[in-house]
Amino acid sequence: MDRSELRRVLEAVESGEITPQDAEKLIEALYEKEIGDKYDAEDFVEITKEILEGEELNKSISMTNGKLVIKGKVKGDVSVVNSVVEIQGIINGNLNAVRSKIIWAGGQVDGDVNLILSKEEGTPNVVGKHNIVSFDIPLVNKLFADKVKLQSEREIFIDGEHKIDSLKKEKVIVNGRLSALSIECENLILTGSLTVNNLQAESVVVSKSGILNAEHVELERLVNSGNCNVGVLEAEEITNMGSIEAKEVESERIENSGRMKVKSITGETMENKGETECQDIKLESVENTGLMIIETAKLEVIDNTGEIKVNLLRAETIYNTGTISVQALETDFLKNKGKVSAKLFNCRELEGNPVTKLD
């Protein structure tokens, strides 16, 4: 569907010839126009990405809340939400944009250009069709500006406020506010707010503006820069730069440079550069350069150069160059070049500074 056809459809809605629901389906049809099967997609959230002159990317690009500068060639599709795209080079596939700004700077799109609630600067150079739902159509703002849901067989983009029972897609992008009972997907990008009972996904990226509220979350990988409030969080890998509050966290590897407040943490390894507050921790190893406030901890190895405040600490091996304040300490081996204070202390082998009595 080209621009003139779409405009006629929207004008027909305004005159009452067709319903807003039919118009929304037509807009969704634009979003479905992709080559995506040919190339794997690489996701970018809240960053600036540049494809250099002479560089060829054999992938599709998906970007949310970022800036993409194309000086070389992208062989797949480019799909963006709330982003800026500057085209100096070539896109072999389609360009799909929602609520974005496209800057034409001498480049070319070989496929179709599908723009929804987006703006353009410069002179477009499009080999395929140039489909636009633009801001200059009053009806679009009236009907869709505050509530947008665009989906294909594999992907869904949600803006505005929506409520659903269940959702199953390969990729889910939530830029507005979504409430759901269950979501199952491969990739979830959250720049808005999501409230869900059960979430199953391979990868979840929560941006600085993102908010996740969930009862049970089961993932392979979580990258959080926003706010997560979860009942039970199971993830193979957790990288936290924002805030996580949870009742239970189970993970093979945790990297925290933000803030975590959790009742129970179990798993294999944790690297804490931020602040962690927990009632009960059971891990194989902990490397701490930040602050940890713990009620009880059962660990195999601790390497501490930060500060740890704990009531009961049981560990096979402790390497300390920071500060540890503990009510009761049990360990096989303590190498202490920092300060360890304890009320009760049981250590088979001590090397370095003595343990001081905690008042």
Q: What is the pLDDT along the chain (359 residues), one digit of tens a residue?
A: 445 555 665 666 666 666 666 666 655 555 554 434 456 778 898 899 999 999 999 999 989 889 999 999 999 999 998 899 999 999 999 998 888 999 999 999 999 998 887 889 999 999 998 887 654 444 444 444 455 566 667 788 888 888 999 999 988 999 889 999 999 999 999 999 999 999 999 999 999 999 999 999 999 999 999 999 999 999 999 999 999 999 999 999 999 999 999 999 999 999 999 999 999 999 999 999 999 999 999 999 999 999 999 999 999 999 999 999 999 999 999 999 999 999 999 999 999 999 999 87
C-alpha angle 47-232-311 in degrees, rounded to nearest 5: 100
Q: What is the pLDDT of residue 155?
A: 82
Q: What is the pLDDT of residue 19?
A: 67
CA-CA distance, 236 to 255, in Å (whole number)?
11
Distances (CA, A) of 60 to 10, 20, 40, 116, 151: 31, 32, 6, 19, 18
Nearest residue to 261 via CA among 220, 304, 228: 228
Q: What is the DSSP letter of 39?
A: S
Count Cβ atoms within 10 A of the Cβ of residue 322 and give its class: 0-12 exposed, 13-18 middle, 19 or more buried.
Answer: buried
Q: List, in order, residues 6 or more apart from 171 with CB less than 8 Å away.
A: 41, 62, 154, 155, 156, 185, 186, 187, 188, 189
CA-CA distance, 67 to 101, in Å (whole number)?
9
Q: What is the pLDDT of residue 154?
A: 78
CA-CA distance, 355 to 359, in Å (whole number)?
13
- The pTM of this model reads 0.78
Q: What is the DSSP letter of 143?
A: H
